[in-house]
């Protein structure tokens, strides 16, 4: 058994103990074993050791599944993806989209219903990176840092039987989770239907997840990966979710999504700092002087806003009902 397989087995054993009635974990649920803000904080600034890694899907995959140990009691699996040079690549290699998807859901979903697991940007030194991944390069030429995206690796999920029309009609809990997922993928214009990008929990409530959101937001970008999640496939939506969408304003969208990560150059290293006003609302990757920003453009946010208004219009016209 590989080291990563052993770690996965250990986490599965901990889950089994919890299921048998041991002291409850301070978790979202048994798919995400820590609160979201705790995972975000550890991923963003926590000291860690990388205990092992392998390709997420195959040996030379662009992303890796890694084992991170933060202390003697905290070890997590994560998806690890190095950003391309300049922080923005071509098709399906835009780190800011993955992070924006995670941040966007917070505007209308409770943590227990998040469909994207914790996803953050982090910078590490080129020297450290090359000790683990020899092919590393600085993301931005004037720095000694590598920008990576870290996403929590979900436990106890499967890509099988994600959509069940009969269950949607009969099972209110499943219907709520699936409707939230489909609403989310519609609003971000999710355009990658590859197998494994949408998952469902194998235990407890039928929670659903979208774990690869790199092909989204951009209305002009064509996709050959399938767009089954781009359209709103359901005709019923949770009332609570729609109420929160209705309360959103364009200003709030811009405030929360214009800058989703920011770094400042200290010496030759990029350090995470509190986001400020966007340096340029018409660009998603911004690099000026000693500051690097990631965010959605004004156009991309405008397209989200347009889709929200269209969904609400369907509700008001009775084309989509609430439950």
pLDDT band at residue 48 using 50, 70 and 90 as cut-offs: very high
pLDDT at 222: 59
pLDDT at 315: 98
**Distance in angstroms (rounded) separating the CA atoms of residues 54 and 236:** 40
| pTM confidence score | 0.91
Tokens of 109: 């979903």
Q: How far, in Å, are 50, 78, 109, 232 from residue 59 at the CA level? A: 18, 16, 35, 35
pLDDT at 15: 41
Question: Taking all residues of the chain, what is their mean pLDDT, rounded to a whole number?
Answer: 89
| Separate counts of helices (H) and strands (E) for the chain | 9, 14
pLDDT, average across residues 152-169: 95
Q: Which residue has the higher pLDDT, 303 or 16?
A: 303
Give 51-91 pLDDT, tens digit per residue.
998 987 776 677 899 999 998 889 999 999 999 999 998 77
**Distance in angstroms (rounded) separating the CA atoms of residues 115 and 212:** 11
**Distance in angstroms (rounded) separating the CA atoms of residues 171 and 320:** 18
pLDDT at 6: 53
Q: How many residues does the chain have?
A: 323
């Amino acid at each position: 058994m590989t080291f990563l397989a052993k770690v996965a087995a250990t986490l599965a054993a901990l889950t089994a103990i919890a299921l048998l009635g041991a002291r409850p974990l301070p978790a979202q649920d048994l798919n995400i074993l820590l609160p979201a803000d705790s995972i975000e904080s550890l991923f963003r600034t926590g000291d860690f050791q990388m205990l092992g890694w392998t390709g997420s899907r195959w040996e030379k995959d662009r992303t890796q599944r890694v084992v991170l140990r933060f202390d003697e009691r905290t070890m997590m699996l994560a998806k690890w993806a190095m950003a391309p040079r300049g922080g923005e690549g071509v098709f399906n290699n835009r780190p800011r989209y993955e992070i924006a998807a995670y941040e966007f859901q917070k505007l209308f979903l409770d943590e227990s219903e998040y469909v994207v697991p914790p996803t953050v940007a982090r910078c590490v030194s080129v020297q450290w990176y090359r000790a683990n991944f020899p092919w590393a390069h600085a993301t931005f030429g004037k720095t000694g840092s590598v920008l990576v995206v870290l996403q929590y690796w979900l436990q106890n999920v499967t890509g099988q039987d994600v959509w069940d029309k009969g269950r949607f009609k009969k099972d209110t809990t499943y219907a709520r989770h699936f409707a939230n997922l489909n609403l989310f993928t519609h609003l971000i214009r999710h355009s990658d239907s590859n197998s494994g990008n949408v998952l469902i929990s194998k235990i407890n409530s039928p929670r659903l997840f979208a774990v690869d959101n790199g092909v989204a937001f951009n209305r002009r970008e064509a996709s050959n990966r399938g767009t089954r999640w781009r359209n709103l496939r359901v005709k019923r939506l949770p009332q609570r979710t729609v109420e929160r969408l209705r309360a959103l304003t364009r200003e709030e969208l811009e405030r929360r999504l214009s800058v989703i990560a920011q770094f400042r150059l200290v010496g030759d290293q990029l350090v995470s700092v509190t986001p400020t006003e966007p340096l340029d609302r018409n660009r998603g990757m911004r690099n000026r002087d000693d500051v690097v920003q990631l965010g959605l453009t004004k156009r991309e946010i405008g397209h989200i806003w347009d889709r929200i208004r269209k969904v609400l219009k369907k509700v008001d016209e009775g084309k989509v009902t609430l439950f």
